[in-house]
Amino acid sequence: MNNTTSIQNNKGKLQGKILQSPQRSFEVEGELFFEGQIVTQRLSDANDILPFTISEKLLKTYNIKLESGVDVCFGGELRSYNKVIDGKSRLILSFFVKEILPEEDFVDNSNQLSLTGFICKTPVFRTTPFNRQICDILLAVNRPSFNKSDYIPCILWGRNAKFIQGQKVGTKIELTGRMQSRMYRKEVSQGIFEQRTAYEVSCQKINVLSESQHQSQNLA
């Protein structure tokens, strides 16, 4: 398989303002990669601070300095990796930049993701104190050209949440949504809490695929 399949499974656009200039992070087969942060705005005017990863080769290709305050629009995909923090492995998400789009492609509130993958953990359904229905899933998205998968936490709301809770592990789905950040408090020891940031995909539309019948069900 070639990289085209990977792009179809996992593609997106991320537009906003650079908060943290990319800093050297890791090297793969002699190629340097940098990590930074971008601020994106929701329709509610709330902000998400999201991590991105970009290669040194791409920075040189576009001959651009991603300094704090610069407005940018990235094309790429959402990737995951495990990182050991305080002796424990944690799943880390980052938007992997494949192209830097020109200004004419800028659109207000452009934060879009399209993913195709498999539910790899039993969906977790809950109702908030305000009676809002929510369901969390973990989506395994194949990256065929690298013979691995990205594991992406997704959150669904309302009718989508109620429907997806009944789906089994291994169900193949397509979804569109946006990457978002969420602050939470984690108890690290008795009575001691840390404030942490979680990243997930907030699902807007979902298409549940039935491989046995080659049919699909669309939910708005």
The pTM of the full predicted model, rounded to 2 decimals, is: 0.86
| Top-ranked range on mean pLDDT: pick from 3-17, 159-173, 185-199 | 159-173
Range name among 34-43, 128-137, 150-159, 188-197 with the lowest pLDDT average: 188-197
The confidence score (pLDDT) of residue 87 equals 73
pLDDT band at 7 (very low <50, low <70, confident <90, very high): very low
pLDDT band at 175 (very low <50, low <70, confident <90, very high): very high
Per-residue pLDDT tens for 144-172? 777 889 999 999 999 999 999 989 999 99
pLDDT band at 89 (very low <50, low <70, confident <90, very high): confident
Which stretches within the chain are classed as H helix? 3-9, 56-62, 158-164
- What length does the chain have? 220
Q: Give, rounded to a whole angstrom, the gap between the first and last alpha carbons of the chain.
A: 32
Above 50 in pLDDT, residue 219? no
Cβ proximity of 73 and 14 under 8 Å: yes
Above 60 in pLDDT, residue 120? yes
Above 50 in pLDDT, residue 84? yes
Cβ proximity of 13 and 101 under 8 Å: yes
Which residue type, as a one-letter code, is found at position 125?
A: F
> Cα torsion at 82, 172, 98, 40 (round to 10°)?
-80
